[in-house]
Structure 1
Amino acid sequence: MATTNPRYETASQSTETSATDYYRLRSNRQRHVTITVLRERSSSVSIDALARQVSERLPAEKTVERVKVRLHHVDVPLLADAGVVAYDREAGTVQVSEPVSDLLV
């Protein structure tokens, strides 16, 4: 049995992520805003641009740089592992995954 790090919220390890898992992923304010921003876009976005857009919707103490670091190291990888977003690490771009976009209302 694999162990998980309790510091991070993770989606189910099964191949299909349930609606409960999506709600758990959205329970973090920054991830919730990230998903909302991505759903409003019709194309992929760079991590830099995503960080600017997300930070505009968060409390003032969340600087663009802090948001960018968390997106890069925590939020986007979690969302990608759960199949919520498609993340191109080489290009540094991310977009919401089409099959799950209807669950993210």
Structure 2
Amino acid sequence: MVGNDNPVKSRQESGSDSAPRLSDDRLYRALASTQRRRLLCFLLEAGETTVDELATVLTGWTAAEQGAMGTKEDREQLRMALRHIHLPLLADVGLVTYDRESGTVDIEALAPAVSELIRESVDREQSSPV
């Protein structure tokens, strides 16, 4: 939905009446990005948030992982990627609701197996040696 001035549609508005399932290839494409897995994991714990807060949290997460300080430029670059790439994709798959106008993001009701897959992938990523 990039380029559309309307908020990204939820799965109910887009005509899909079921949450993403483990057998859905689109789910795995959405989870291919470390940033998307991390933001989903954050939303599973925190609930509704804003694009700005997500950018701050994810910039800090990456900086801590790298042992460096995240810059304002890093945060702004990530905020733009969230708004134009990551959140629209996740909304199209039915993992989040994203309102471009208000800048709010919330996790959709996910099947327990999907939530566990997200948490497990982030946990394993954090416990693997760099």
Q: TM-score of the superposition, structure 1-length normalised? A: 0.73
Paired residue for 1:27?
32
Point out the structure with max Rg over C-alpha.
Answer: 2
Give runs of ≥4 in structure 1 deviating > 4 Å.
59-62
- Residue range with higher mean Cα deviation, 82-91 or 19-28: 19-28
Distance 2:101 2:84 in 1: 14
Structure with greater helix share of residues: 2
Q: What amino acid is the match of 1:95?
A: D
Runs (5+) with no aligned partner, structure 1: 1-13
Paired residue for 2:43?
38
CA contact (8 A) 1:37 1:54 kept: no
Q: CA RMSD in A?
A: 2.2
- Residue range with higher mean Cα deviation, 81-90 or 52-61: 52-61
Per-residue deviation, residues 36-66 of structure 1 (Å, max 9, x unmatched): 1111113x11100111011111245781111
Runs (5+) with no aligned partner, structure 2: 1-14, 117-130
Percent identical: 30
Tell me the number of residue pairs that the alignment of Structure 1 and Structure 2 aligns.
90
CA contact (8 A) 2:50 2:104 kept: yes
CA deviation after TM superposition for structure 1 residue 101, in Å: 5.4
Paired residue for 1:18?
21
Question: Which has the higher relative contact order, 1 or 2, with Cα contacts under 8 A spaced 6 or more apart?
Answer: 2
